[in-house]
């Protein structure tokens, strides 16, 4: 199967993720969109890895690292969200106005 199929899928998912990050206001939803972007990265890595054959095990290893780091990031991010929610009762990014931009 041509590698370009997978690259196109990855490109579309990444773009959808970028749109989600820019358009959403809820911090959890923004984080979900970023996860989608990370998934797009993994499609790329695995597709290239398969493409390069026996030389290309590095791509899959990289994908594993991306998943592990994503787990750490999500844990920390959700802890921050819980903390914020306790103090503010909202997780709207646009409602954060304590500090001006």
Partner 1 sequence: MMELAQQVGATAAAVDWHAIAPELVLAATACIVLVADLFLPDDAKWLAMPLSAAGIIGTLAAIVSLIGAGNRLTLAGAFEVDGFALLFKGVFCVLGLLILAISFHYFRVGRYYQGEYYFLMLCSLLGGVVMSSARDLVTIFIAIELISIPGFIMAGLRKGDAKSNEAALKFFLFGVLSSAVMLYGMSLAYGATGELLLEGIRAKLTAADEPLIVLSVFFIVVGFAFKISAVPFHFWAPDTYEGSPSPVAAFLSTISKIGGFVGLIVLMFRAFPDVADTWRPIFALLAILTMTVGNMIALRQTHIIRLLAYSGIAQSGYVLVALALIEPGATASNEQAFQSAVIYLAIYGIMDAGAFAAAVAFARRGGSYFIEDYSGLWQRSPVLATLLAGFLISLAGTPPMAGFWAKVFVFLAAIEAQSYLLAIVMGLNAVVAAWYYLAVVKKMFFEKAELAEPVEVPAVLRVAMGLAAAALVAVFVYPRLVTELAERSLF
Partner 2 sequence: MNLEVVIFGVMFVVALGCSLAMLFAPNAVHVALFLVGAQMALALAFLLQGAFFVAAIQIIVYAGAIMVLFLFVIMLLGIDLRESLIEPLTGQRGVALGLGAVLAVGLVFVGVQGADLAAGGGDGAAALTELNQGPGNVKALARALFSRYLLPFEVTSILLVVAMVGVMVLARRISAVENDRRAGVPAAEEEAA
Footprint on residues 32-91 left by partner 2 (CB under 8 A): 32-33, 35-36, 39, 42-43, 46-47, 49-54, 56-58, 60-61, 63-65, 67-76, 78-83, 85-86, 91
Is residue 42 within 8 A of residue 66, CB to CB? The reply is yes
CB 29 within 8 A of CB 37: no
From the list 21, 18, 24, the residue with the least C-alpha distance to 40 is: 18
In the chain, what is the straight-line distance between the N-terminal and C-terminal CA atoms, in Å? 48
Token pair belonging to 94: 């646009």
Partner whose binding site includes residue 67, from partner 2, partner 1, none (CB under 5 to 8 Å by kind): partner 2
Closest-CA residue to 28 (of 67, 63, 80): 80
As measured in angstroms, the least distance from the Cβ of 52 to partner 1 is: 4
By CB under 8 A, name the binding residues for partner 1: 7, 14, 17, 21, 27, 30-31, 34, 37-38, 40-41, 44-45, 47-48, 51-52, 55-56, 58-59, 61-62, 65-66, 69, 72-73, 76-77, 79-81, 83-84, 87-88, 93, 96, 98-99, 101
């Amino acid at each position: 199967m041509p590698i370009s199929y997978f690259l196109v899928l990855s490109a579309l998912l990444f773009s959808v993720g970028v749109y989600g990050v820019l358009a959403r206001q809820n911090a959890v939803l923004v984080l979900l969109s970023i996860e989608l972007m990370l998934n797009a990265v993994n499609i790329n890595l695995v597709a290239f890895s398969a493409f390069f054959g026996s030389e290309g095990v590095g791509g899959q290893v990289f994908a594993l690292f991306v998943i592990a780091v994503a787990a750490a990031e999500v844990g920390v991010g959700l802890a921050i969200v819980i903390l914020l929610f306790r103090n503010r009762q909202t997780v709207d990014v646009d409602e954060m106005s304590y500090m001006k931009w």
